[in-house]
Structure 1
Amino acid sequence: MNFQLLLRRRGIVDHAVLKAMDEVPREDFVEPITRDDAYADVALPIACGQTISQPFVVAYMTEQLQLRRYHRVLEIGTGSGYQAAVLSHLAAEVVTVERYRTLADRARLRLRRLARDNVEVLTADGFDLPDELGLFDRVMVTAAMEEVPESLKERLTKDGVLLAPVGPDGGVQVLMRIRRRAPDSAADSASQGFATEELLEVRFVPALKGIARQL
């Protein structure tokens, strides 16, 4: 089946997202042994015990971010680099963080070969990000968290959006969309908060704290 048709049948309607999915060669981001299944709508194993999400989930999460060309995006959990590559076609800048150095190094090489110059790959702890990274218009977490840390929500600009799978390790999580509300007026900063919406049941590998000592 045509890749775009598969995604359309699953409910993806954003033309920019469909175009980005079509332009990123997914076969470059999977392991050689699974290359024949690169465009199947399934998650596939990659190094360090991690996975590359199924195409529908990648497209759905990207669509739900409601990206604009001027947005600065943070991704927690680089993995193969595939999601970051898709995001790079839709945003001005993508900073993606990976705790496994092997995955970060491989993703950086893949993205460089594809000339995705607006992506920066960092080996870092997604739960303890450097202050100098600043704020982001959009944040995407691609690993399961039992709860979203306040420190990560605080990375959002006003009216920024965060997506994260929230739930137990090894079980079903719920994809949550959290939007940072702007104050009603400059004098009403107390009205600023976070609006949370449940989107979809998903399954992701767990988000772990710290930088991996090996791999």
Structure 2
Amino acid sequence: MISRKGSIISLANARSLTLLDAIPENRPRAKANLQALWAICQALVQRATPISPTAKVVSEEGRIRSPEFPSVQTIYNEYREFIAIWRRAFHDIRNIDAPDPIAVEELDAIDLTHMDHGPAAIIDVLRRVVKELRKQNDGLREIISSSVPVPADHLDRKADELIDSLGDWLVNVNKRGFEIDTISLKVSRRTPIGTAIMDADLFNELCTFVDDYRRRRKAGSAL
């Protein structure tokens, strides 16, 4: 019987194969690059202690094997969707024993009355951020569906992955020693020296999402 970790890896492999098959035969270099990325991502995620397959880590690991391996920027620009598959697999494995995620509509049902101020404030921020991202995503999908021949489900999937990653970050804010009050989120005395504020890939994905949203909104207002 296949393990839960094995099921997650199998799903990531199936999604990777779909992306590989979608590359035209007249682009052999792109196919070869994706196959090389696949091998690295799979190796990182399958380790006894999985490593997050960020663009930087994947590029560094790949260049140990071949100096022609795609650069970090090339991965960001051309293989972002592929990396997202394996980052999702990494997060699913890391949270394999966590409860199943709840729907956005169920967020308001979480009882905060018995929680300390810090965790309660973090969950409240998470509620607002997720709702706002969902609202913006719905609006963006409507613009794209009515004006640009791009499958809206594709955008929805990428936005869901971004929301999942952002949700993981928000949930871990308190664990990293950061502190939130009525004014801001900030470093506290409990924050270990050198603690990363946010993963570089997540930061870049947020920037890309915002840029895409503003570009699509501008295009929609020009119609």
The normalised TM-score by structure 1 is: 0.32
**Pair member with larger Rg:** 2
Give the number of the structure whose residues are more often helix, by fraction.
2
Higher strand share: 1
